[in-house]
Structure 1
């Protein structure tokens, strides 16, 4: 099936008061697992490649982007391709040449005024090329150099001003989730999500959703979240399956032997998120 645009999925979901789930791609197996999970759940999804994943691939975007897009096109599921957590302007500018329909431009480490200036420039560039642009306000936490402060939250009035000043199409907000959580123990501020939904005219995005229980995610969608990002949960499934296989078969040298259960574990994780959060 041809790739669909992130904006099409997001706009439709917001109009229905549902959400779209976006899953991080690191390897080709991740992309295949996300497609398989979406097919099993009968639900659209977004495959997203982060700047950190591009760095893992030697700083070369083209190979992993081409492989991910090819996997998505071969799937009967409705899938979109998104470039995530981009801090490099050069990487942002590479997006339009590699099948991406959306980018998350991350200037959240900058002081507020500098964040607004950099993001407004990025949004203008993206919109001239038909790209949908997401940005972040309020440190989500869990990344090197980030705040890691549980109490950090996005202020609704500041969020409204930020969207007006930048022209972004979606806003990732800090409401209690944290990147890189391996246990699903996070509690979200649903009242704040509702306040942000009322204050901000663009869709809201939840980063760090791997550590959020299903009931909390369903509550977040009901309160106004439209895009739900999941990454670490796939890596936990992948690594657990590889570790279990190699412990049981320590003489194995053919990576296909352990990558098959790893891919299947990730596909199951994707399908469970899509089914349990009930984003349709």
Structure 2
């Protein structure tokens, strides 16, 4: 990993949610709301930019990832057993697809929609057994393909603004890979490797300049890297286990950050809360799965 960059601010707590394992930050620019999940708490959350207006849903299984769709009244949610459509108003879950050979001891993990409207997501063993994870892509109803592996805990992914590069981490290995997309075969290379004292790369997002923002699990921060892997900046987060980040707000310059380690009780400490910081960088609207309506 490149030399440490100077800190460029400290994130502030906007929701002391007490999540056991907050993840999956996703901004919906149509409604001006942030979606996120508590994996171990089996809950889905939504909030406005200030964190004052909130709503939560209990889920029957651990959620691992989220995606917006072209249909404003439903999202895609990855639960332990597969992908489902979810209607927030009726709370109806409709099964969509599951990876081939997916077992009861595996679950879905982080995911993201690319600029072409395809949903990429990871799978992993619930006890993080080495090399039992993989990266998958959903191209349409039941059009599900295993793209890359093995991984232990795949996290990300994130995409360059033009969709030509994808980033995905194998967190326990402390490695972020970059993939050149297009032209058939994907070409993978090591993009960044975290040092032991920097924690583990977790969730990530890109900004309009093509830079990658990465949450540090065990590192209490978010780092910004340019497309060549040079670290440009670091944001400090008052929680050790930082799990995901996404741009949002009215001007798409607010970085929202989820964390883990809470007790599951709202207001009980700052671990497991949602944080926000103005960055000066501009994000891009989240991709929407566009082949499922």
TM-score of the superposed pair, with normalisation by structure 1:
0.33
Normalized per residue, the structure richer in helix is 1
TM-score of the superposed pair, with normalisation by structure 2:
0.32
Q: Which has the higher contact order (CA 8 A, sep 6+)?
A: 2
Normalized per residue, the structure richer in strand is 2
Larger radius of gyration: 1
